[in-house]
Amino acid sequence: IALSWLMVRRGRRFGLASGYVVGVLGALVATASVILLSLPLLLVGTILIGFGNSSNQLSRYTAADLAPPARRASSIGLVVWGATIGAVAGPNLAAPAGRIALALGLPELSGPYLVPIVFVGAAALLSFILLRPDPYQLADETSRRDEGERSVAISVASILARPWVPVAIVALVTGQFVMVLIMTMTPLHMADHGHDLAAVGLVISGHTFGMFGLSPISGRLTDRFGSVPVILAGLAVVALASVLAAVAPPSGGAVLFLALFLLGYGWNLG
């Protein structure tokens, strides 16, 4: 919400770059929290890291602004697909980043927080330098409002009164809740059963590939069949993934990998 408010007043480029910069600050705070063994500081750091994720989320709708209505879902899918390489590679950087942290005299678990300092910082720099002119200036005419209306507030009640907005909110909350619940418990579950960071990274990479790798297909399906059938399909896939995750053996293996992949793709469809 804060970044959207900023984008209305300063443009999409400034808002996206600002979110990434705050995310880098959060990674620095989180690194310090691991060194100082401070849980409150870690919570502050992860909240700030979330701003970088918010910019990632909002970049999809920035892309949607540029496309006519019939191609908006495909445009969102293309931008989400662009995150695939980072999403799949990211979890596998946990182990080497931990070794780098140890070599620098830092705690091993501070290593993964060093990664976004580099990559999210690069995203901030590239967004600020290369998104010119501002994407809103190139937006499709069905996305634009008159310049004089750009700062007019829109009430939450008027947004909720739009026909499919409550349906979209329920779908987003449901998919996000189940996905995050299982995704965040899986590394703890695997660690409790003796798996190392490399094994955890492999399973989470399968999950993140499901979240992002097939996005263009999801976009095309949505443009062709409409949002509601694809949302329902996504919820069904998430439900199947939840069952598979619950029955997967403690050794993990193919069942857990498949469950996490389907969990990611169900979220993507939703």
pLDDT tens-digit map of 109-140: 888 898 889 999 999 999 999 999 999 888 88
Specify which of 88-97, 116-125, 151-160, 248-257 reaches the highest per-range mean pLDDT. Answer: 116-125
Residue 234: its pLDDT value, please?
95
Residue 153: its pLDDT value, please?
61
Q: How far apart are CA 4 and CA 16, in angstroms?
A: 9
Residue 143: its pLDDT value, please?
74
Region of 145 on the Ramachandran plot (φ > 0 left; ψ -120 to 50 alpha; else beta): beta
Tell me whether residue 41 is exposed, middle or buried, using C-beta atoms within 10 angstroms of its C-beta: 0 to 12, 13 to 18, 19 or more. middle
Tokens representing 208?
């993140």
CB neighbourhood size of 148 (10 A): 7
154 pLDDT more than 80: no
Residue 179: its pLDDT value, please?
94
How far is C-alpha 86 from the geometric centre of its chain's CA atoms? 11
Mean pLDDT of 94-122: 90
Mean pLDDT of 89-107: 87
Q: Which residues contact 40 (CB under 8 A, 6 or more apart)?
A: none
pLDDT tens-digit map of 11-36: 999 999 999 999 999 999 999 999 99
Q: How far apart are CA 141 and CA 149, in angstroms?
A: 14
Tokens representing 243?
């069952």
Tokens representing 254?
């193919």
Mean pLDDT of 49-69: 91
Q: Which residues contact 59 (CB under 8 A, 6 or more apart)?
A: 16, 79
**Across the chain, what does the average pLDDT equal?**
89
Phi, psi of 92 (to 5 degrees): -75, -10
Residue 151: its pLDDT value, please?
47
Q: Which residues contact 176 (CB under 8 A, 6 or more apart)?
A: 267
Q: Which residues contact 251 (CB under 8 A, 6 or more apart)?
A: 193
152 pLDDT more than 80: no
Q: What's the count of helices (H) and strands (E) in the chain, helices before strands?
A: 13, 0
Q: How far apart are CA 270 and CA 262, in angstroms?
A: 12
